[in-house]
Amino acid sequence: MSNTEKGILYLIPSLLGDSVIERSIPAFNKEIIQSLEEFIVEDLRSARRFLIKMGSKPIDSLTFHLLNEHTTHGNISPYIDGLLKGKNVGLLSDAGCPGIADPGADVVRLAHKHGIKVVPLVGPSSILLALISSGLNGQGFSFHGYLPKKQPERGAKIKQLESIAYRDNQTQIFIETPYRNDALLQDLLSACRPDTLLCVASDITLSTEYIRTATVKEWRAEKRSFNDHPAVFLIGK
C-alpha cells in the first residue's frame, strides 16, 4: 500500500488551560479538526471539551481511542487501523503538543514504521514558551519531564542538572504535577546554589500567566505559591 492510499496522522496541539482559542490555536487547525472523525486522545473528557470548542463534528459521531500512561504498547496497534485504510486521524494531547511528556510518541513512531504521513500542527507548547521567555540559553537546553518524587533522589537529581547547566551552559527544563509545584520549588531552593538562575513559568497563555527569572537567592526571599497552577521550571547560569 502506498503513502497516497494511507491516511494522515495529524498531531493536534490543545489549549494549555481555559484560554481564548484565537490566542493559541491557528484557524487552519480548526479546519483540520472539523474534517476528522477519529481521534487518539490522552484524556476523553478534556478532548471532548476542546473539540466542541473547535466546532468539530457531533461528538457522538466521533471515534475515540484512549492513550494514556495505562495503555500498554500491545493495545496501540489497532489505533492506526483507520490510518492504514486511508482515514485521517488526529492525535490530541491533554494540554499542549502531543508527543511531549505524554504517550503520543508511541503512536507517532508506529505511524512512521508503517509509512503513514505525520503532520504536526502549530500550537502552544508550554516548554518552548517557557524557554523563550526565560532569558536562559535557548541554543543548548534539555527537557527532563518529571524529576524523582522523593528525597534524597530528587535533591541529587537537581544537583546533577545544576552541574550540567554550569558545565555546558545548558538550560535544564522540567515539570511537576501542579499540586506538588510548591514542594519542587522548595527542593530547588534548598539544593541549588544562590547564584543559579531559576525561572518559573506558570499558567502560560492564561489570564493569570506569571513568568519570572531570578537567582535562587532572590527566590528564597519570596513567598509565592504555584500549587494547582500548571508550571514549567528552568535552571541555568
CATH of the domain at 48: 3.40.1010.10
Query: Which of 60, 85, 120 is the endpoint of a domain?
Result: 120
Among 60-64, 71-75, 228-232, the minimum mean pLDDT is found in: 71-75
Q: What is the pLDDT of residues 138-160, one digit of tens each?
A: 999 999 999 999 999 999 999 99
Mind listing the pLDDT tens digit for each residue in 120-132?
Answer: 999 999 999 999 9
Give the integer Cα–Cα distance in Å for 49 and 77.
Answer: 26
pLDDT at residue number 4: 61
User: Residues 150, 116: one domain?
Assistant: no
Contact 212, 200 (CB under 8 A): yes
Q: How far apart are CA 54 and CA 206, in angstroms?
A: 18
* 165 contacts 237 by C-beta, under 8 angstroms: yes
Domain match, 212 and 156 both: yes
Same domain, residue pair 34 and 82: yes
Q: Which whole number is the average pLDDT over 89-111?
A: 93
CATH number, domain of 216, equals 3.30.950.10
Residues 147 and 212 in one domain: yes
Sheet holding 210-215, edge to edge: 141-146, 171-175, 231-236, 197-202, 210-215
Contact 187, 207 (CB under 8 A): no
pLDDT band (50, 70, 90) for residue 107: very high
Q: What is the pLDDT of residues 3-32, one digit of tens each?
A: 569 999 999 999 999 888 999 999 999 999
- Based on the domain organization, do 135 and 191 belong to the same domain? yes
Lookup result for grid cell 491533554: 94
Domain boundary among the residues 120, 151, 166 is at 120
CA distance 235 to 198: 5
Eight-class DSSP state of 150: S
pLDDT at 102: 83
Residues 165 and 57 in one domain: no
The number of distinct structural domains making up the chain is: 2
- Are 74 and 135 members of one domain? no
Are 114 and 135 found together in one domain? no
What is the rounded average pLDDT for all residues in the chain? 95
The reply to whether 52 and 85 lie within a common domain is yes
Query: Is 131 found in the same domain as 112?
Result: no
Output the furthest CA–CA distance in the chain (Å, rounded).
63
Supply the pLDDT for residue 103: 87
User: To which residue does cell 492513550 refer?
Assistant: 67
How confident is the model over 96-116, as a mean pLDDT?
A: 93
Residue 1 has pLDDT above 50, yes or no: no
For the segment 187-202, the average pLDDT, to the nearest whole number, is 98
Residue 210 near residue 200 (C-beta atoms within 8 A) = yes
What is the domain extent for residue 222?
A: 126-236
Residues 96, 182 within the same domain: no
Bridge partners of 9, per DSSP, are 89, 118
Looking only at the bridges linking them, the beta strands covering 38-41 and 89-92 are: parallel
